[in-house]
Amino acid sequence: MRVATGSDHAGYRLKRVLAERLAERGHEVTDLGTDSEDRVDYPDFGAAVGRAVAAGEAALGVCVCGSGIGIAMAANKVSGVRAAVVHDSTSAALARQHNDANVVCFGQRLLEDSVALAALDAFLDADFEGGRHAGRVAKLDVL
């Protein structure tokens, strides 16, 4: 599966760690930047990942900034994106199972690498449950 990644300077290191895990799991990683820890603006990279997912250029997206919040806000501005900030394996699995999230967002300043890697694995391994959640997700899609 093709996965788009993006981060600002505050998430650059963790993005690289997560991209390595994606590659280890056999996914094709499309890195949409940034390429260093030099200061940049998170909306540019959240939007780039969101656009790639919405256009079908990537099946899923992975975003990282300092908290995960700003880059998620940027990704969620793109129609068709359901970006979720996750803090552990449980929130990551539920983002997929209940909300059909297609972009997962992490905060490098808030998570240990091991927690972020476990959350990424949980996100990738989970599937949307549909059922009672389908109507709610459909409401999100028309906003």
Q: Exposure pattern of 25-64 as b/e (b: 16+ CB <10 Å)?
A: eebebbbbbbeeeeebebbebbbbbbbbbbeeebebbbbb
- Two structure tokens written together for 25: 């799991």
Catalytic hit among 87, 98, 105, 133: 98
Known catalytic residue: 98?
yes
Catalytic hit among 9, 27, 63, 65: 65
| Separation between Cα atoms, residue 96 and residue 99, nearest integer Å | 6
The set of residues, in sequence order, having a beta carbon less than 8 Å from that of 125 and lying 6+ positions away, is 93
Give the CA diameter of the chain. 45
Please check whether residue 64 is in contact with residue 11, taking contact to mean a CB–CB distance below 8 angstroms: yes
Known catalytic residue: 105?
no
Nearest to 97, CA basis, from 111, 86, 110: 86
Active site residues: 65, 98
